[in-house]
Every structure is written in C-alpha cells, then in structure tokens.
A = this chain, B = another copy of it.
Amino acid sequence: MYTRIMSALREKILNTATDLFQTRGINSTGVDTIVAVAGTTKMTLYKYFHTKEGLILEVLNKSQQDFQSWLDNKLNTNTKAPADKIKQLFDFIEEWITSPSFLGMGFIKASAEFPNEENPIHQLSSKQSREFRQFISKLASEAKIKDADGLALQLSLLFEGAVQAEQMKRGSGAIKYAKKAAKLLIDGAISQ
C-alpha cells in the first residue's frame, strides 16, 4: 500500500471530488465546481492531480480503500472465528448501505459512466469489483466452503444489486432481502 504524505488541501480536493462525483455524476462535475466547493483554485488542483482522469482514478482508489478498511475492521473486531465472518458479512454491508452517509459505490457508477472496456477508469472499476469478489471468496474459503468462488460470485451479485437498488431509490429496503437471500445461499453452500 503506497501511503502518501498528503497536504490538507490535496485531501480536501479528493474528498470534495468524491462527494460531488457520487451526488452529481463524474462527467457532470467540472473541475471548476470541485475547486469552488473545496475552497481552492484550479492551479492547486492541477498541481496535485495532473489530469481530471488522474483525479477520478485516485478518488476511486481511495473510496475503495476506505470501504475495504471499514469492512475489514468491522469483521475483525466483531468476529473471532473465521467461519463466522462470511455469515456476518451482509450485516455489515447492511450497516454500510443504510448509513446516512452512504452515497453509492464508486466503481459501480464509474463503470456505467465509462462503459468502454479500454478506458482506464472502466478498467479500474472492473478490477475493484473483481478484487471485492475475491475478498468474499477468501472469506468463504476460510469458512471451509467448497465452491468458495461460486458462492462469492453469487453474494457479489446480491451486493451489487442491492447497492444499485439503493442508488436508484434511497431507502429501498433492498438490502434486507439481499441479506435473507445471502443467508440462504451461504447455508446451502455450507451444507455441501
């Protein structure tokens, strides 16, 4: 993990961009808007981020890191037995989705705004989705589940579907049903 010494202003720009990209869309948010909301100027933005694309990529990376760190922490402090982590996964996902600060999943929106598979932003989104699926697969493996990859894929579909539903309509309640479905799939995979 490349930890970077970050100036307060750099971080402010990054956080502002994250928020604006989520609430207004990436292509609909100009750098002028970002610097105005962040309370700085374009010169400073372009000092820290060489292009808007570079800023987008960093926003996506930071968002994913923050989410993954939050989830790791939840799983490690609340659960001792590795076999239980997969069972509690959707409890924490529910907590995350229903949190008032939830604004959506970066890589899901980004991949829709940049549908071309050659595009670096699309490629990063795709990579993040794959890595999150692998993370679930690792949890399933540690829980001694046979078809860990298969279950992980199914759970990731429920996850992305629930996020999608919540992005479309806040307070959709989709995660409640995703959780039930996940429980059923996990129990089925364990008893195999």
A65 at the interface (CB under 8 A from B): no
Residues of A whose CB lies within 8 Å of any CB of B are 22-25, 27-28, 104, 108-109, 111-117, 122, 125-126, 129-130, 150, 153-154, 156-162, 164-165, 167-170, 174, 177-178, 180-181, 184-185, 188
Question: Is the CB–CB distance between B188 and A184 below 8 Å?
Answer: yes
Q: What residues of B have a CB within 8 angstroms of the CB of A170 in the complex?
A: 117
| Cα distance A112–B154 in the bound complex, in angstroms | 22
Nearest 3 A/B pairs, CB to CB: A157-B161, A112-B112, A161-B161
Contact of A27 among B113, B117, B129 (CB under 8 A): B113
Question: Is the CB–CB distance between B157 and A181 below 8 Å?
Answer: yes
Query: Given A129-B165, A168-B125, A188-B184, are A116 and B23 neighbors across the interface (CB < 8 Å)?
Result: yes
Question: Is the CB–CB distance between A115 and B126 below 8 Å?
Answer: no
Q: In the assembled complex, how far is the CB of residue A117 from the closest CB belonging to chain B, in whole angstroms?
A: 7
Q: What residues of B have a CB within 8 angstroms of the CB of A122 in the complex?
A: 168
Q: What residues of B have a CB within 8 angstroms of the CB of A177 in the complex?
A: 150, 153-154, 157
Question: Is the CB–CB distance between B160 and A164 below 8 Å?
Answer: yes
| Cα distance A121–B162 in the bound complex, in angstroms | 20
Q: In the assembled complex, how far is the CB of residue A62 from the closest CB belonging to chain B, in whole angstroms?
A: 19
Known pairs A154-B177, A181-B185. 12 more at Cβ < 8 A? A23-B115, A25-B115, A113-B113, A122-B168, A125-B168, A126-B168, A126-B169, A130-B169, A154-B158, A156-B161, A157-B181, A160-B160
Query: Given A125-B168, A169-B126, A184-B185, are A116 and B24 neighbors across the interface (CB < 8 Å)?
Result: yes
